[in-house]
């Protein structure tokens, strides 16, 4: 770490108050001040890309008094549009990639997550004809309401060699029933435990079963 948390906070506040051109020049100055590792540090601190800092360094190398006075600040909303706004069908392709890789909270239909990594989602979109970056995958996940699943402390149940085949079979049956127009019932149940395990963990002595319908 190059700076204390208080200095980092001041740098971020100043950076966010500047125009686009001033941001990249300021980030470039800070990165060059820090020397080795400075670019990576400022990238993470300010949330900018390496290309932004590199362009800022180039700006500083070519600046003179005349160019400073004639600099034009781009209006809000200018610049290249995001692929999310320019490529039709990307949302549908994204949802298709996650179609059988989505789970959620049976007690709250607004909470859902996926077991796919950003890289796996990007590969799926590439196969569908959309070349996207990992940050863009993150934007798509946020746009469609996916959240990070919180880690839970629980007793391991071991590894089953047929685990993947089981889920593939579930996905196959899910598709068959959907295409036939039948309703699908999804159960989320708690694993059975011995009496001693329940007493030691302080849990109630029954299995909870929650279900919901989806069509």
Mean pLDDT of 197-210: 45
pLDDT at 211 over 50: no
- What percent of the chain is predicted at pLDDT more than 90? 7
- Give the residue-averaged pLDDT of 181-207: 58
Task: Report the percentage of the chain scoring pLDDT > 70.
Answer: 70
Q: Using the predicted structure, report yes or no on whether residue 93 has a pLDDT greater than 60.
A: yes
Residue 158 has what pLDDT? 61
- Residue with the bigger pLDDT between 73 and 162: it is 162
Reported as a single tens digit per residue, the pLDDT across 119-177 is 999 999 999 888 888 888 888 998 888 887 765 555 555 666 777 787 788 888 888 88
Select from 140, 83, 141 the least CA-distant residue to 112.
141
Q: Which two tokens stand for residue 98?
A: 């996650």
Closest CA to 23 of 43, 37, 3, 7: 43
Of the pLDDT bands very low, low, confident and very high (cuts 50, 70, 90), residue 74 is: low
* Residue 8, both tokens: 């980092």
Q: What is the mean pLDDT of the chain?
A: 76
Write out the two tokens for 190.
Answer: 């708690």
Instruction: Provide the pLDDT for residue 171.
Output: 81
Write the pLDDT tens digit of every residue in 2-25.
Answer: 788 888 888 888 988 888 888 988
CA atoms 78, 118, 145, 87: torsion sign: positive
Cα separation, 208 vs 90, in Å, equals: 39
Residue 214: which of 178, 180, 190, 188 has the closest Cα? 178
Handedness of CA 125, 49, 63, 36 (dihedral sign): negative
Residue 20 to residue 102: CA distance in whole angstroms: 38
Query: How confident is the model at residue 208, as a pLDDT?
Result: 41
**Residue range 34-49, pLDDT digits in tens:** 888 888 888 888 888 8
What is the structure's pLDDT at 122? 92
| Rounded Cα gap, residues 47 and 21, in angstroms | 15
pLDDT at 191: 57
| Residues in contact with 189: Cβ distance below 8 Å, sequence separation at least 6, in sequence order | 207, 208, 209, 210
In this prediction the pTM is 0.41
């Amino acid at each position: 770490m190059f700076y204390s948390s208080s200095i980092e906070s001041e740098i971020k506040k100043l950076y966010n108050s500047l125009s686009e051109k001033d941001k990249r020049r300021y980030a470039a100055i800070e990165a060059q001040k820090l020397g080795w590792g400075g670019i990576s540090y400022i990238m993470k601190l300010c949330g900018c890309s390496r290309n932004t800092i590199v362009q800022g360094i180039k700006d500083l190398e070519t600046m003179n008094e005349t160019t400073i006075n004639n600099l034009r600040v781009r209006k809000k909303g200018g610049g290249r549009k995001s692929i999310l706004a320019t490529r039709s069908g990307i949302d549908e392709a994204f949802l298709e990639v996650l179609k059988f890789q989505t789970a959620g909270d049976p007690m709250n239909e607004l909470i859902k997550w996926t077991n796919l990594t950003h890289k796996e989602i990007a590969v799926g979109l590439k196969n569908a004809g959309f070349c996207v970056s990992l940050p863009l995958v993150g934007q798509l996940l946020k746009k469609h309401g996916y959240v990070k699943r919180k880690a839970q402390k629980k007793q391991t149940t071991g590894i089953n060699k047929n685990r993947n085949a089981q889920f593939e079979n579930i996905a196959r049956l899910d598709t068959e029933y959907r295409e036939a127009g039948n309703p699908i019932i999804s159960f989320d149940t708690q694993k059975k435990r011995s009496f001693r395990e329940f007493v030691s963990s302080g849990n109630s002595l029954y299995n909870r079963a929650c279900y919901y319908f989806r069509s």
